[in-house]
Amino acid sequence: MGLRVALTGNHAVAYAVKLADPDVIAAYPITPQTSIVEKLAELIDKGELRARMIRVESEHSALAACFGAAVAGARTFTATSSQGLLYMHEFVHWVSRARIPVVMAIVSRTINTPWNIWPDHSDFVDQRDAGWVMSYAMDSQEAFDLTLQAFKVSEDPSVYLPVMVGLEGFIIGHTAMPVEIPDENIVKEWLGERRQPYVIDGSEPLGLGGLTFPEDTEDMFYHIQEAMNNAKNVIKKVDEEYGKLFGRKYGGLVSCYNCIDAKYIAISMGAWSGDLVEAVDKLREEGYPVGALRIRYYRPFPAEDIWEIVRNAKGIVVFDRAISFGAWGQIYTDLVAGFSLYTNKLPQMANIVAGIAGVNVISEDFYGILKSFIDKSESGTLERNYFAWIKVRR
Partner 1 sequence: MVKVVKPPRNDKLPLTRPVIGVAGKTGLWRNMKPLVNNVKCTRCYQCEIYCPVNAINVEPETGAMINYDYCKGCGLCMDVCPSGAITMIPETGE
Partner 2 sequence: MSKIETRKLPLPHDARDKLLPGDAACPGCPIPIALKVVSAVFGEKAILVIPACCTSVILGTYPGQAIKTSVIHVPFASAAAVASGVSQALRTRGIKDVHVIAWAGDGGTADIGVASVSGAAERNEDIIYIMYDNEAYMNTGIQRSSSTPRGAWTTTTPTGKIENKKDMARILIAHGVPYVATASVGYPHDLYGKLQRARSMSGFRFIHIHAPCPPGWRFDPQYTVRVAKLAVETGLWVLYEYYDGKLTVSGPSRPYMDPAKRKPIEEYLKIQGRFRVITDELINEIKKYVNENWYWITKMSR
Residue ranges that bind partner 2, judged by CB under 8 A? 23-24, 26, 52, 54-58, 60-62, 64-74, 76, 90-91, 94, 200-202, 204-213, 216
Q: Smaller CB distance to partner 2: residue 208 or 327?
A: 208
The interaxial angle of helices 140-154 and 184-191, nearest 10 deg, is 30
- Which residues are within 8 A (CB) of 296 and not within 5 positions of it... i.e. 6 or more apart? 135, 136, 142, 146, 250, 251, 252, 253, 254, 255, 269
β partners of residue 299 = 134
Query: Among 50, 188, 223, 311, which residue sits at the site for partner 1 (rule: CB under 8 A)?
Result: 223
The partner in contact with residue 114, picked from partner 2, partner 1, none with C-beta cut-offs of 5 to 8 angstroms by kind, is: none
Query: Among 25, 63, 143, 227, which residue sits at the site for partner 1 (rule: CB under 8 A)?
Result: 227
CB contact at 8 A, 266 and 310: no
Q: Smaller CB distance to partner 2: residue 193 or 285?
A: 193
The partner in contact with residue 213, picked from partner 2, partner 1, none with C-beta cut-offs of 5 to 8 angstroms by kind, is: partner 2
Q: How far is the CB of 30 from partner 1 (least distance, A)?
A: 30
351-373 core/surface letters (b: 16 or more CB in 10 A; e: else)? bbbbbbbbeebebebbbebbbeb
Q: Smaller CB distance to partner 1: residue 209 or 287?
A: 209
Q: How far is residue 198's CA from residue 69's CA, in Å, rounded to a whole number?
A: 13
Single-letter amino acid, residue 326 = G
Q: Smaller CB distance to partner 1: residue 207 or 287?
A: 207
* Residues between 79 and 138 that touch partner 1 (CB under 8 A): 97-99
Q: Smaller CB distance to partner 2: residue 76 or 122?
A: 76
Q: How far is the CB of 227 from partner 1 (least distance, A)?
A: 7
To 5 degrees, how large is the angle CA 264–CA 261–CA 382? 20
Alpha-carbon Rg for the chain, nearest whole angstrom, is 21
Q: Smaller CB distance to partner 1: residue 211 or 341?
A: 211
Answer yes or no whether residue 226 interacts with partner 1 by CB under 8 A. Answer: yes
Single-letter amino acid, residue 282 = K
The partner in contact with residue 223, picked from partner 1, partner 2, none with C-beta cut-offs of 5 to 8 angstroms by kind, is: partner 1
Q: How far is the CB of 370 from partner 1 (least distance, A)?
A: 44
| DSSP, res 384 | S
Q: How far is residue 101's CA from residue 153's CA, in Å, rounded to a whole number?
A: 9
**β-strands 297-299, 315-320 pairing:** unpaired
Answer yes or no whether residue 308 interacts with partner 1 by CB under 8 A. Answer: no
* Residues between 153 and 192 that touch partner 1 (CB under 8 A): 157-158, 160
3-state secondary structure of 63: helix
Q: Smaller CB distance to partner 1: residue 208 or 388?
A: 208
Q: Smaller CB distance to partner 2: residue 26 or 316?
A: 26
What phi and psi, each to the nearest 5 degrees, are found at residue 297?
-120, 120
Q: How far is the CB of 26 from partner 2 (least distance, A)?
A: 6
Burial of 248 (C-beta count, 10 Å sphere; 0-12/13-18/19+): middle
Query: Among 43, 74, 164, 171, which residue sits at the site for partner 1 (rule: CB under 8 A)?
Result: 74
Q: How far is residue 128's CA from residue 248's CA, in Å, rounded to a whole number?
A: 27
β partners of residue 78 = 104
Answer yes or no whether residue 225 interacts with partner 1 by CB under 8 A. Answer: no
The partner in contact with residue 227, picked from partner 1, partner 2, none with C-beta cut-offs of 5 to 8 angstroms by kind, is: partner 1
Q: Smaller CB distance to partner 2: residue 211 or 341?
A: 211
The partner in contact with residue 193, picked from partner 2, partner 1, none with C-beta cut-offs of 5 to 8 angstroms by kind, is: partner 1
Q: How far is residue 101's CA from residue 24's CA, in Å, rounded to a whole number?
A: 13
The partner in contact with residue 94, picked from partner 1, partner 2, none with C-beta cut-offs of 5 to 8 angstroms by kind, is: partner 2
CB contact at 8 A, 92 and 132: yes
Query: Among 47, 114, 202, 209, which residue sits at the site for partner 1 (rule: CB under 8 A)?
Result: 209
Q: Which residues bind partner 1 (CB under 8 A)?
A: 73-74, 97-99, 157-158, 160, 193-199, 205-210, 212, 216, 219-220, 223, 226-227
